[in-house]
Structure 1
Amino acid sequence: MREALCRCPEWLSDIWAKSPAPGETEGQSLCAHTWEVLARLRDLASLRPWLPELCGFPRLWNVLFWAAFFHDWGKAARGFQDMLKRKGKWPHRHEVLSLLFLEWILAAGEADEVAAVILSHHRDADELERLYPPGLSPEDDPLSEILNELEEATLQKLYRWLAEICPVWVKELGFDKLGVSYSLPISFNEAVAGKQSGPDTVRRLLSRYSRLVRGFREGTDPSRALAGILLRGLMLQADHAASAFTGVIAGLAGFRQKVLTGARLSLEKLYFHQKKAAEAPECAVLVAPTGSGKTEAALLWAARQAETRHGLPRLFYVLPYQASMNAMYDRLTEIFTGQVGLLHSRSLLALYRRFMEREENPAEAAGKARRERNLARLRFYPVSIFSPYQMLKGVYRLKGYEAILADYAGAAFIFDEIHAYEPGRLAMILETIGYLRKNFGSRFFIMSATLPRPVRLRVQEVLGDAQSIIASPDLFHAFSRHQINLLEGELLEKGSLEQIVSVYRKGGAVLVTCNTVKRAQEAYRCLKGKIPEERLVLLHGRFNGRDRLEKEGRIMEAVAVGKKQRNPAVVVATQVVEVSLNIDLDVLFTDPAPLEALVQRFGRVNRKRRVALAPVNVFVAPARGEGVYSSELVEKSLNILEKNANGRAVDESLVQTWLDEIYTGEVLNRWENGYEQVAGEFRRAFLDTLRPFDSDDALEEAFARLFDGVEVLPAVLWEEYRALREQRPLEASQLLVPISWGWWEKIRKAGLVRSRPGEWPPVVDVPYSPEMGLEPGKA
């Protein structure tokens, strides 16, 4: 704020843009806020000076400069200033009044475009049309009323600002080099006289804005949609960043050296696939064994992108699960200190825990966590970690979607474990990737230990001429570290459980993986009493944040990768263990699952090749997929393993061939039909109709149902929650348990929701314990 004030004269300080902050008597001046917005816009332009070329709109920065300069001038109205000084309310929209000033300096055509950006920086077109409908008689038109609130003394200050200070700002902020032109064609007397025709001027610009939005909705001018998205998106980002006092929005300097130093890499000792990634010019697809440095390969690819013509304005690391996102945040923060954002539904809590671990007091930890989370939401950090569902918010047209999409222009995306999504969701993700690559110049690096053939083909389709990188045969052979044993019967049988206990008693660290939470809970109950309590851990997705963190800590303490002092332990888990914790156990016992899921489970055992071969035991029953997987996929995977690997070492180089053999015939047809149906519907409903100035609040709940799920509070924790809520609300939020919309509907229909509709949090009469987690089946 001090930076802004030094560029604003005293005679402008009495026109405010913001109310006083708590404990202060003076609000932020309109001049100071405008400078901050323009400074942040300058930052965004520095990251992507080539955007006019991308969207075919040469005057992009000129329109954005004037929109940012004038966007809040309507706040100079007497009623708005009184409201900021807590002297009542103001029933009008300041952005509408801001339009009056555009003709002071802009030609008619350019004024239309600037007006569209100004009008849309807070509200969508439909709402403005309801507030200021066309066809009103002059005596009923609210525009006449608000224009009368602009006093001549105020107009004189605003005119002097435009005439004397604005041209200095254009040069000082470097906008003259971006094509921003300045000339003042109107005198002050003409400006004051123009107030009389002000309602007509504003009404004309409102009408043209409505016509522009209708044109986008009707698809009459799709070629301008990209420019419109960028105009509104960049304006929103600059305005929000300025209001939050983020400071300079910067990129990453010295990216390659940061990666080499932070990841402790030597160019001479890179694997073949890492060298290839470091040379890939644009999009690339990598298949390499788990534990073979795929993350390092991806970062080297990103370093290569930073050296291209468009540079690396932003890097996004995309992962499927919150636990893996949190772990990657820790890892990348070591490389890019202070430049990494974490964004998922519980990222605030994850950040709070990290500050608490540094022995900060709760209030300071909460404040810092909120600040970091808010900066991540404002797209401030040059590196961000999130799930693909955050990315889909842009094409779902949720509020502020243009700012999300604008931040993806020219960005680099690293997608880890793309196989983890079922065909329908994968279709939406890949269609969005293709859209961003084609329209926004985004670049993608997609990697996995396993890529089934249909997934591989769809990835190549959306990425065009992406480079395919496969680890060398020698590396696959070197990473052969598992011996597969197919076991008769099923995991929950008495004899199976005795085998698990036997391995533990011989000093082994055992991973037991079940396909459902219910089966994992049952396996844990059966093992309880046979394994000491301190050596037995249950982990699944229906624990609250506090209990899950405690369990993950116990697991990492016992079997983290690289841990020298290892202790015997038994970890019973669901699929959450596949791509989350960086752990290394001795033996696996698992439910049957599709081969790509099994390979991920194998990767949690003998991860760093401590021994030549470690046993991974796969039960052959139940092969019906348990409602989680396709029965056909499970059965074909078991057949492949029986034919090629039972009792033998896994040849990692053959896994891809086995996958291609599984995805044939009816399995392939069903997969492709499911994928194509969703891909086509998603493309027609969202991508083909994506346009600016048109968010859709009705899609908020639909999006939440599909991707976000629900957080509930078990009734048994209500008293503890209530006690914590007043003093430590973030710690109180740790007691909430995430469940899917499907489970929420079952609980609601069973009459197990204790709280009233709309009350937060929803309290449910479902058994919960720190040991077992939520147990809907016992309600």
Structure 2
Amino acid sequence: MSFLHLLAKKSKRRNVKLLRHLQDVASIAMKIARNGGLDERIAYIGAILHDIGKASTQFQKTLDVNFRRPPGMVFRHEIASLFFLSLVDEQDRPAVIEMVVAHHKSIFKDIGEMGLLDLNDRLRDCFEVHAVGFDIWMPNALEILHHLGLKVNPITKEVARKSFEAAVSYCEVKRIGYSKWKGLLMAADHLASDMESEVGDILPKLFITPDLNFYNQQSIWYPLSFIPGNDPRKHTLLKAGTGTGKTYFLLKRCTGRIFYILPFQASINAMYERIKKDLMDTDAEIHLLHAASLLQGNGESLKEKVLQRHIGASIKILTPYQLASLVYATKGYEALITDLAGCDVILDEIHTYSEDAQALVLKIVEILYSLNCRIHIGTATMPTALYNHLLQIMGGKEQVYDVSLPDNVLDTFDRHIIHKAEKIEDLGPTIRDAIKDGLKILIVVNTVERAQKLYRWLNKENLNVDKMLIHSRFKRSSRRALERLLQNDFNRKEKPCWVVATQVVEVSLDISFDLMITDVAPIDALIQRFGRINRIRNAHTIGKYKDIYVLPPPKNNRDARPYKLEVLRRTYDLLPEGELLQERKLQELIDKVYPEIEAPNIDLNAAFVAGKWRIRELYHAPKSALLDKLDIDTVPCIIESDVKLYELADNAIRLDMEIPVSYKILSFKNFPQLKIGNHPFVIPDGAYDVDEGLIAASLKLESVQ
């Protein structure tokens, strides 16, 4: 078989020629090496060798559409690729081994026991298993490598065995740490595999430093715009309220590529749209990275969608969960490090997370510091204890530009009169009067079920104005449409409306309503919610106050979820009653609610502790370990009537149909699960309503066929 006919892999759309795949990976690998200060020549050699084992007749047979894997058959193409190490100069072999040997599997304790050291331990002769027919397929492999510019010579089976054994010996004594070469190859391989024939088009788009001059503009309404951003200190801790210009200030502090981290999906969607509009006249590549990649897909090409989750973007907007692999060293963490190292990382409102998530973020900050990232943290409501802890992690005030606003400026941001109400039903007259006065009303509650219940109650009031319910359990396409409608129609038009929402509106949604009714939440989250009321600053709004009604905490811990009851009680008791909430006193309230850091210590399970890695190079932890240690249990589901379309659709359309939901809601119900796409669970049509989203109480297994 000529090397021109050898195939690399089975694509969803077609088989890809091995030669073309190696060329594509090599092109990207060299670009990554150039950006990261690694040797481009070695990057090229490792890239053309990483999949050369796919020339094996054993592998080529598996690509036949009629192939059925015999019981017990074992073949790892990366192990067969090691047989060609003799073609590499001896001093370059360590880096090449690292690029080849573990680009799919951890070398040891792989979850499927298919890593190099796993197989070498459990197979009688791992080399012989992978060298079947070597004399037959080796010439084809050499022909490919020669075509790609590598100096070649015939390799005997004995020489191949020595190369294999040398790789095993090298891997058996790996040091503690992570492999830059493995990260480089994984990043290049993943991007090349997804881009297929368009690699040449995207190479010029990788590693572009964004032009951020747009964010240097000044405005009398945004006091942070007058504070210079060019302080020589590397990191930033910014404490300023909503509406002060935090986003612009954090961005103007950046000097390289940017990872912008926000707490919620709604936050990252809104920020993506905002920055993309701001920088539309520049060459910056701005990508959105979500747990379900390709989320922001409408109107974008395949090329743009694929790039969202790959290396080299000018600006990447994401939640901290997309960095969680750093903490637990799960598969792909080295590729993420390759993308992150040396970049600017903005963490916006990181204190708004749950305790477990906050512990994750603190650990991420430690790792970012070790990776020579420039870290910029912005907050409106951070407890002093947490602030000081972050300051210490980032090297103290000698390395951190510590920015805040004076009291006289904070006084110009006083804008809310706080009232306490026993229950929302008592506020019916207040709501009706506000509608008559043409006001926009925002009602924020702490759970989806409560939001749906209040939405039904308000519907019965027949208020006859525009209305909306928005929370996390809508189809992704519907959720995106609701966010845009909320910002572009409800927010901008001067007409009465009411919106019921959950925490999804707390951070980075640029909306300004006139009246709020809200469940009590922890003081930091509550202040974020307040920032959606009377947000616009101009000559007509400064010094004008809007009303906010806060509902009391529940009676028991169960109803307080997702928050702690004692935190809700402390917050509620500290709030003023019928008085102005003073911006200059917010820090005092926050510190009384949070006198100390409450985030749990996750060092027992983390891969990075006390400034050092505790995992060996070329190893990674199974994904299940991450899910066990962190409550990232959101899974996708689709309704039964969408199944046929989901089976036929591409990734972008599939994502539009998916509904993210906590696995706890689906557990013990044994709903069917598809084997394609993101493997969504299938729920009955009756459990989903166009206006209300997924209704957990309606989930019944017997209605799914």
The question of a shared fold, defined as TM-score above 0.5 by the shorter chain, is answered with yes
Find the aligned partners of 1:550 and 1:377 in 2 and give their Cα distance. 22
How far 1:768 moved relative to its partner? 3.1
- For residues 165-218 of structure 1, give each alpha carbon's deviation from its aligned partner in whole angstroms, at most 9, with x where no partner exists: 45xxxxxxxxxxxxxxxxx8xxx7xx43x5152243134224214413xx4xxx
Find the aligned partners of 2:434 and 2:335 in 1 and give their Cα distance. 54
Q: Select 1:234's aligned residue among 173, 184, 191.
A: 184
How far 1:152 moved relative to its partner? 5.7
Q: In structure 2, what is the equivalent of residue 764 of structure 1?
A: 683
Q: Which amino acid aligns with 2:617?
A: P
How far 1:334 moved relative to its partner? 2.1
Whether 1:98 and 2:81 are equivalent positions in the alignment is yes
Q: Select 2:672's aligned residue among 747, 755, 764.
A: 755
Find the aligned partners of 2:145 and 2:637 in 1 and give their Cα distance. 55
Q: In structure 2, what is the equivalent of residue 55 of structure 1?
A: none
- Answer yes or no: is the 8 Å Cα contact 1:278–1:297 preserved in 2: no
- Answer yes or no: is the 8 Å Cα contact 1:249–1:381 preserved in 2: no
| More displaced 10-residue stretch of structure 1: 199-208 or 70-79 | 70-79
- For residues 548-589 of structure 1, give each alpha carbon's deviation from its aligned partner in whole angstroms, at most 9, with x where no partner exists: 3454344335432xx3x4001111222222115321111112
CA change 1:116–1:15 in 2 (3 A) is farther
Match of 2:252, SS state, is: helix
Q: Select 2:404's aligned residue among 462, 465, 470.
A: 470
Q: Structure 2 matches for 1:568-717, cutoff 5 A? A: 568-609=496-537, 610-611=540-541, 612-622=543-553, 624=555, 626-642=560-576, 646-664=577-595, 668=596, 671-672=597-598, 675-679=599-603, 681-682=605-606, 688-699=613-624, 702=627, 706-713=631-638, 717=639
Whether 1:43 and 2:31 are equivalent positions in the alignment is yes
Q: In structure 2, what is the equivalent of residue 343 of structure 1?
A: 289
Q: In structure 1, what is the equivalent of residue 111 of structure 2?
A: none
- Answer yes or no: is the 8 Å Cα contact 2:261–2:346 preserved in 1: yes
Find the aligned partners of 1:131 and 1:626 in 2 and give their Cα distance. 50
- Answer yes or no: is the 8 Å Cα contact 2:342–2:374 preserved in 1: yes
CA change 1:628–1:761 in 2 (3 A) is closer
| Unpaired stretches in structure 2, ≥5 consecutive residues | 109-113, 700-705
Whether 1:208 and 2:132 are equivalent positions in the alignment is no
Whether 1:372 and 2:354 are equivalent positions in the alignment is no
How far 1:547 moved relative to its partner? 3.9
Find the aligned partners of 2:452 and 2:338 in 1 and give their Cα distance. 45
Whether 1:737 and 2:659 are equivalent positions in the alignment is yes
- Answer yes or no: is the 8 Å Cα contact 1:17–1:72 preserved in 2: no
Q: Which amino acid aligns with 1:627?
A: R
Q: Structure 2 matches for 1:302-701, cutoff 5 A? A: 302=254, 306=255, 312=256, 314-337=257-280, 339-352=285-298, 355=299, 368=301, 370-438=302-370, 440-465=371-396, 466-484=400-418, 486-491=419-424, 493=425, 495-560=426-491, 563=492, 565-609=493-537, 610-611=540-541, 612-622=543-553, 624=555, 626-642=560-576, 646-664=577-595, 668=596, 671-672=597-598, 675-679=599-603, 681-682=605-606, 688-699=613-624
- Answer yes or no: is the 8 Å Cα contact 1:286–1:468 preserved in 2: yes
How far 1:709 moved relative to its partner? 0.9
- For residues 334-357 of structure 1, give each alpha carbon's deviation from its aligned partner in whole angstroms, at most 9, with x where no partner exists: 2444601111134534323xx1xx
TM-score under structure 2 length normalisation: 0.84
- Answer yes or no: is the 8 Å Cα contact 1:710–1:744 preserved in 2: no
- Answer yes or no: is the 8 Å Cα contact 2:325–2:332 preserved in 1: no
- Answer yes or no: is the 8 Å Cα contact 1:321–1:580 preserved in 2: no
RMSD of aligned Cα (Å): 3.7
Q: In structure 1, what is the equivalent of residue 98 of structure 2?
A: 116
- Answer yes or no: is the 8 Å Cα contact 2:289–2:309 preserved in 1: yes
Structure whose CA Rg is larger:
1
| Unpaired stretches in structure 1, ≥5 consecutive residues | 1-11, 52-59, 167-183, 216-220, 307-311, 356-364
Find the aligned partners of 2:505 and 2:217 in 1 and give their Cα distance. 27
CA change 1:679–1:505 in 2 (3 A) is farther
The size of the alignment, in residue pairs, is: 668
- For residues 109-150 of structure 1, give each alpha carbon's deviation from its aligned partner in whole angstroms, at most 9, with x where no partner exists: 643442232222233324234555588579x93355343224
- Answer yes or no: is the 8 Å Cα contact 2:421–2:552 preserved in 1: yes
Q: Select 1:776's aligned residue among 672, 696, 703.
A: 696
Q: Which amino acid aligns with 1:641?
A: L
Q: Which has the higher helix share?
A: 1
Find the aligned partners of 2:138 and 2:523 in 1 and give their Cα distance. 74
- Answer yes or no: is the 8 Å Cα contact 1:592–1:618 preserved in 2: no
CA change 1:596–1:143 in 2 (3 A) is closer
| More displaced 10-residue stretch of structure 1: 508-517 or 321-330 | 508-517
- Answer yes or no: is the 8 Å Cα contact 1:592–1:621 preserved in 2: yes
Q: Select 1:275's aligned residue among 212, 215, 227.
A: 227
Q: In structure 2, what is the equivalent of residue 179 of structure 1?
A: none
- For residues 201-251 of structure 1, give each alpha carbon's deviation from its aligned partner in whole angstroms, at most 9, with x where no partner exists: 134224214413xx4xxxxx33xx24x2x1100011223333434331655
TM-score under structure 1 length normalisation: 0.76
Q: In structure 2, what is the equivalent of residue 259 of structure 1?
A: 212
Match of 2:637, SS state, is: strand
Q: In structure 2, what is the equivalent of residue 14 of structure 1?
A: 4
Match of 1:450, SS state, is: coil
- Answer yes or no: is the 8 Å Cα contact 1:428–1:679 preserved in 2: no
- Answer yes or no: is the 8 Å Cα contact 1:76–1:150 preserved in 2: yes
